[in-house]
Amino acid sequence: MTMSEAEPRKHVSERRYVTIVFVDLVGYTQLSEQLDPEELRLVQRRYQQLTLATMERYGGFVASFTGDGVLIFFGYPTARENDAERAVRASLELMGRIKTLNTAVEDGTVPEIAARIGVHTGLVVMAPARVSSGSSELGAVGEAINLAARLQAEAAPGTVVATREVTDLTAGLFDVKALGARPIRGLSREIEVFEIARERLGTARRRVGVSSRIPIVAGRESHLQRILARWTGATSDRRAQFVLVTAEAGVGKTKVITEICGHPALSGAAIYMTYCHELFASTPLYPVASFLWARAGLKFEDDNKLRGAKIGAVLDEIGLNTPENNEILASLIGLAATGIREQFAPAPTLFKRKQYEFVISVIVRTARRQPTLVVIEDAHWLDPSSAELLRELLAAGNDEALMVVATARPFPRADGLPEPDEVVSLGPLSGEQSLALAQAIPGSEELPPEKIAQAVAAAEGVPLFVEQFVLSLIDEHIQTPHPIRKPSNVPLLLAELMSERLDRRPGARPVVQAAACIGRSFTPIFLAHVLEKGIGEVMEPVEALVDAELLLPKRIGGEIRYEFRHSLLQRMAHESMLAAERRAIHDRILGLLDQGDGVDIPLPEVTAHHLTEAARYQEAVQAWLRAGASAGQRSAHIEAIGHIRHGLSLLEKLPDEMVRTTLERGLQAALVGSITAAQGPTSAGLLQCCERGLALCTEDEPSALMFPFLFGKFTFANCSGDVPEAASLAENFLDRSERADYGSGRAIGHRLIGMVRLGQGKADEAIEHLERSLLFGERDRDEASTFMFGQNTEIHTRSLLSLAHFCLGNVDDSLRIGIDALRSADALRHPHSAAIPMSYVGGWVFGLSNATKELMQEAGRLVALSEQHGLAGFRAHGAAFLGWGLCQKGDLARGAATMQKAIAAFEHVGYVLSLSGYLANLAEAQLRLGQLAEAQASCDRAIALKSRSGSLWLEPELDRIQASIMARGARAQRQDAEAALRSAVEKARRLNSPVLEHRCLASLRDHLSPQGRDSEVDARLDALARFGDLSGAVSRALRETAAAADLSRVAGQLAS
């Protein structure tokens, strides 16, 4: 029983993503029957030594030998970003070497042996294990270990098989044959199995992915132009250029190169593309060799004769077929096929010089005939000989139309490269650009927008991360969830990439893990407290992590903070710890936060996060509730919903059912206001939340928290067009409030009833209830209920009261109350509450007053407020009023289009309240545009919805517009139009609404011909003249209110 000893290390317990190789000898039991135990031991030892040497050469860690089986880890003790590739390469090489292994024993017998190999990548826990001798050996547990061990049984003798995880990580690097889904002993699901036949050499072996099929996203245009400017200089001035494109892995270097190569400016250019490889960073001229291998079309199975013919064809093509060049090219191509089996002996100096001269002559000769581009990808792994060759190439081709573009990462640093003429550094994409990339990925159209948004946010502008997160979501979407197996939080490709970064400074791993527990950023002082070390002991590893591109120092005021370069690095560092260790550190952090050591007062969500990670679940749920409430009070409703749902997700971890019920009731109640604001009052989430909350408020245990749920159900019913249900819920709310002697509830209950009565066209009854609502409301109590119910009761009541008075012709009272509501809402700085008077007063009151300027101002404010604070339900209201204002100004086409979009937005979410009025305004605009059929359709829908949409107070206006459409229709309709207009006038009188009556009378007067003037109509219009154009009254009321506010402010300053 032995392990890799190349780099002795103390084994510590940790979670790691590793690629596991399990090698098994075929027919070992039969071999043990044929051979003496000593002979068997000899054969076994040779096989084990071969396996050990081969695996370690590729960076594998041989964990154990168990008879004929060998277990190897790639990614431990140090992770590399291509561990899966290394594992497969090593496995293929081992298979080849086993065929030539000397198995002869003393009596001359030469038993034949063969092996089979299984390769799988997954998450394991590495931990020291004690054996009988008392010594400690490395142990590993996890499904991935069992799967790799069972997987090898699916391989035919002499072959390598792998799982989907491995083939995805090595896509394009090897020739792969799908063997189908296989049942694996001990697992509850079938596993896709693939046979890996051989590696691919040359540029064709580059990884392929979704991004290769996606058009380049915005955000790289300036970088492309800089490179193209250098190309113009190289071709027009015949001056060689060297451009270095730098960025971290996944940021899009290859995508930029692809775009450059396909640009029309390079349509007549010769393009040579090659790449460097980490495994061959010490192999002289490997990028040249791999390019020539692909250019010659060579295959591993080619014999010497066929290989010679292909080499000769390449030389014929470039006109350099001589015996000497044939020898040079053959020597270069041989490098690509060698791999890393042995350290390649350096070529003699003279022959190396000839190799250089051959390569330079080919490229320079080409550049003299046509502009030439040489691309070298991943130049941070460029071997020293190739770097020397590149310098000589640029010197020899200095006066030619030649440009070399190399891509490289900041770490490891590319040493030995020539001084570039231009360095193009790529940064992350913007959120908008990342979203465009995510939406371009095939299959993303099936994902909910919020899932796409989460993926984009998690990627932080790195294109590869966007791609991998979205692909992971697509896989989850199309696959049936497994009842037991929990999906990984991090796509494997990114886990492999991030693991390599975390291991760049292995000695700093405990520091980076503790830092990850603190958060995305931290101060060295607080980190030192967490680690219980001096600041000097902490700073050395922190600076090493900065040098390794894991951390970024940032000065904030007089303080230096360190930040993880990507949130995924922090997540991987955090998840690499065992759960018990994580809990202990988070617990220590909570103690330090309580003491205030080295940290400001933490945000509620920070405390909640640490309590969750410390497994203090009841305290965590309460903290998430506080965090949600705090976010809701700041109108950060998306964050509030997230915090509260985080608390809900922890309830199942609490053993006491009564505690769970109490906490869930509070969490669900806190959701009502934020869901209404962020998702809209007709969202299914609001109804589900309220129904669940009411179910928790049983009759046996009445709770004051039932009121937010009743309120939410009323809001849903009223806005969805279920007026009878809304009326019943409003009465129920008031009745329960009176029985509970709940003052704020009474105020809200009367407001709800007043809202229903106004929608039913009973403005006088509405005013009665709304005034009683103001009577029961108290300022302090009302401020508290603002956060419980998500809106300010007094402001909402005054807004409705303003409209009710307007309906009854009490214009001065309406404007005084309404403008006061607008100003109070501005002072309150509560976005949801501010949006309400902007709709009722700024929209309907100002709009029906023909105060176009003021209407558009409030509509614009409403749209801006909604967009700034994510008020999903109110943006469409603002757009509908904005469109109405445009029509009043005479911009009919734009106004109608704006209203149509707003109405479509309402219909998309099933929102009905006020929709009838918006449809009527649209119908009038369409009528003025001459679109009679469209106007009739809009008006018909408006009339059909008038009861459901709470628009009976506006019924005369609907009838007026309907009659106006009839007046422009066929003759029979025109004859009926007068009767319809007179009916509209009568309805306005029955509603006691002089403003609407005047509008109907004016349309009737315009409809009657000069010969058919009606003196009664003219007389009534004269009597109602003050209700005609109320725009002056609106302007005057606004000026007077502003003047009064200024006077009050001056008086206050004098008093102080």
Q: Specify the pairing of strand 372-377 against strand 402-408.
A: parallel
Partners of 84 in beta bridges: none
% the chain with pLDDT above 70: 90
Whether the predicted pLDDT of 704 surpasses 90? no
The residue among 597 and 526 whose pLDDT is bigger is: 526
One-letter amino acid for residue 121 of the chain: T
For 404, the 3-state DSSP assignment is strand
Each residue's pLDDT tens digit, 952-985: 999 999 999 999 999 988 776 777 999 999 999 9
pLDDT band at 344; cut points 50, 70, 90: very low
**Sign of the dihedral through C-alpha 129, 131, 137, 139:** negative
Residue 180 β-bridge partners? 193
What was the pLDDT predicted at 343? 43
| Largest CA-CA distance found in the chain, in angstroms, rounded | 133
Give, for 92, the enclosing helix (H) or strand (E). helix 83-98
Residue 346 pLDDT grade (very low, low, confident, very high; cuts 50, 70, 90): low
What does the DSSP 8-state code read for residue 201?
Answer: -
Q: Residue 7: its pLDDT value, please?
A: 43
Q: What tens digit of pLDDT does each residue of 794-822 get? A: 999 999 999 999 999 999 999 999 999 99
Alpha carbon distances (Å) from 734 to 420, 683, 750, 758: 77, 24, 7, 17
| pLDDT exceeds 60 at position 135 | no
Q: Are 80 and 86 in contact (CB under 8 A)?
A: yes
How far is Cα 80 from Cα 23, in angstroms, rounded to an integer?
A: 21
Indicate whether 677 pLDDT > 70.
yes
> From residue 438, how far is each of 53, 220, 455, 571, 636 by CA, in Å?
44, 16, 8, 22, 25
User: Residue 928 and residue 920: Cα distance in Å, rounded?
Assistant: 13
Amino acid symbol at 578: L
**pTM of the model as a whole:** 0.77
**For residues 536-554, average pLDDT:** 89
Retrieve residue 629's tokens. Answer: 């409430």
Q: CA 609, CA 447: separation in Å to the nearest integer?
A: 28
pLDDT at 105 (0 to 100): 66
The DSSP code sequence of 546-594 is HHTTSEEEEEETTEEEEEESSHHHHHHHHHTS-HHHHHHHHHHHHHHHH
Q: What is the 3-state secondary structure (H, E, C) of 673-695?
A: HHHHHHHCCCCHHHHHHHHHHHH
pLDDT in tens, 227-274: 999 999 999 999 999 999 999 888 888 889 988 998 999 998 999 999
pLDDT at 625 over 90: yes
Q: Sorting pLDDT into bands at 50, 70 and 90, what band is 106?
A: low
Number of alpha carbons in the 13 Å side-chain half-sphere of residue 390: 30
pLDDT at 763 over 90: yes
Helices 779-789 and 617-633 meet at what angle, rounded to 10?
110
Report percent pLDDT > 90 for the chain: 54
What is the Cα–Cα distance from 947 to 953, expressed in whole angstroms? 10
640-643 contacts at long range (C-beta below 8 A, 24 or more positions apart): 640/670, 640/674, 641/671, 641/674, 641/675, 641/678, 643/604, 643/605, 643/608
Q: What is the pLDDT of residues 27-47, one digit of tens each?
A: 777 777 778 888 888 888 888
Contacts 24+ apart (CB under 8 A), 684-693: 686/712, 686/715, 686/716, 687/712, 687/713, 687/716, 690/716, 692/668, 693/665, 693/668, 693/669
Report the pLDDT value the prediction gives residue 217, as an integer from 0 to 100. 54
Q: What pLDDT shows up at residue 917?
A: 96
Angle in degrees, 0-180, between the axes of helices 535-547 and 509-518, rounded to the nearest 10: 100
Looking at residue 487, what DSSP letter applies?
A: P
203 contacts 242 by C-beta, under 8 angstroms? no
Q: How far is CA 640 from the centre of its chain?
A: 18
177 has which bridge partners?
A: 195
Q: Which amino acid is at 100?
A: T
Enter the tokens of residue 880: 């509908």
**What pLDDT sits at residue 3?**
44
pLDDT greater than 70 at residue 478: no
Residue keyed to tokens 């497969």: 88
Q: Where are the alpha helices (DSSP H) in 742-871?
A: 743-759, 763-776, 779-789, 793-807, 811-828, 831-839, 846-848, 852-869
> What integer pLDDT is reported at residue 131 of this predicted model?
56
pLDDT digits (tens, 9 = 90+) for 637-676: 989 999 999 999 999 999 999 999 999 999 999 999 999 9
Provide the pLDDT for residue 28.
Answer: 79
> In this predicted structure, what is the pLDDT of residue 862?
96
- Can you read off the two tokens belonging to residue 957? 């206006």
**What is the mean pLDDT of the segment spanning 762-768?**
97
How is 816-848 classified by DSSP, letter by letter? HHHHHHHHHHHHHT-HHHHHHHHHIIIIIIHHH
Confidence of residue 489 (pLDDT cuts 50, 70, 90): low
DSSP, collapsed to helix, strand or coil, labels residue 181 as: strand
What is d(CA 109, CA 566) in angstroms, rounded to the nearest whole number? Answer: 59
Give the residue carrying structure tokens 């006088």.
764
The tens digit of pLDDT for each residue in 266-312 reads 998 999 999 888 888 888 888 998 888 888 887 777 788 888 888 88
Question: What pLDDT band is residue 1055 in, cutting at 50, 70 and 90?
Answer: low
Indicate if the pLDDT at residue 755 is higher than 90: yes
- As a whole number, mean pLDDT of residues 432-443 equals 84
Nearest-CA neighbor of 269 among 173, 400, 153? 400
Output the DSSP codes for 410-460: SSS---SPPPPSEEEE--PPPHHHHHHHHHHSTTGGGS-HHHHHHHHHHHT
**Residue 124 confidence (pLDDT) above 70:** yes
Please name the helix (run of DSSP H) or strand (run of DSSP E) that holds residue 538, with its range, or none: helix 535-547
The C-alpha torsion from 166 through 171 and 177 to 180, rounded to 10°, is 50
Q: Identify the pLDDT of residue 11.
A: 59
pLDDT at position 162 over 60: yes
- The residue-averaged pLDDT of 1009-1029 equals 86
Characterise 263 by phi-psi region: left (phi > 0), alpha (psi -120 to 50), beta (else): beta
The two tokens of residue 662 are 């109490």
Mean pLDDT (the chain) is 87
What pLDDT score does 20 carry?
A: 95
Say how far apart CA 828 and CA 866 lie, in whole Å: 16
